[in-house]
Amino acid sequence: AVIPIFPSESLLNTGSILATQEGSSIEIWRLIVAGSAGAIIGDTVLYWISRTVLRNFMSDRVAQAEKNEKVAETFAMLQHQAPMLIVFGRFVPGVRFVVGATMGLTRFPYPRFLLWDMIGGVAWAAFACISSALVSTAIGDQPLLSMVVSIVITSAILGFLYQRMRRDWEASKDAPETSEPELA
């Protein structure tokens, strides 16, 4: 997440495909643990760099941007959809970087960020490893094809989830506000 040039799922996909090869000493569960830990640590580092160094460096620009109606609406959406963005943003290279940096810049509460990031990191690592191993096992001795099929499946699932999140956000904006009775 800190250096988005080399997507980390490439390592997990490759390791998982190698784990399915006969005689391999690689174990999928260890890849999942290592991938989860790497994702959570990387996202945490990015969050804190953005919250401290980057926010201090860009404080005037951030304050000015927050006055813009579109930016304010985007920040409101981020706060409203933060758990889903943190969890599912982890699955998309580049998006995970933007989400982590934005959560730090907007000073999203770190305990909540960490909770959702842990859920997303474990889910992402497990999905990347297990799906790559399953595809590799089903396709056989064609690791490159296995990687392409895994990427296509992941992209389709994420596209569906993004459309659903966007639709829910639009519906929540258009819904009339209702006041809930307070409980004593």
Token representation of residue 68: 């813009």
What's the rounded mean pLDDT across residues 73-93?
80
Residue 135 scores a pLDDT above 80: yes
48 vs 160: which has the higher pLDDT: 48
The rounded distance, in Å, linking the Cα atoms of 86 and 44 is 12
Query: Comparing C-alpha atoms, which of 123, 126, 118 is closest to residue 44?
Result: 118
What's the rounded mean pLDDT across residues 28-36?
93
The rounded distance, in Å, linking the Cα atoms of 99 and 103 is 6
The rounded distance, in Å, linking the Cα atoms of 165 and 184 is 34
pLDDT tens string 95-128:
888 888 889 988 899 999 999 999 999 999 998 8
Largest CA distance in the chain: 65
Residue 156 scores a pLDDT above 50: yes
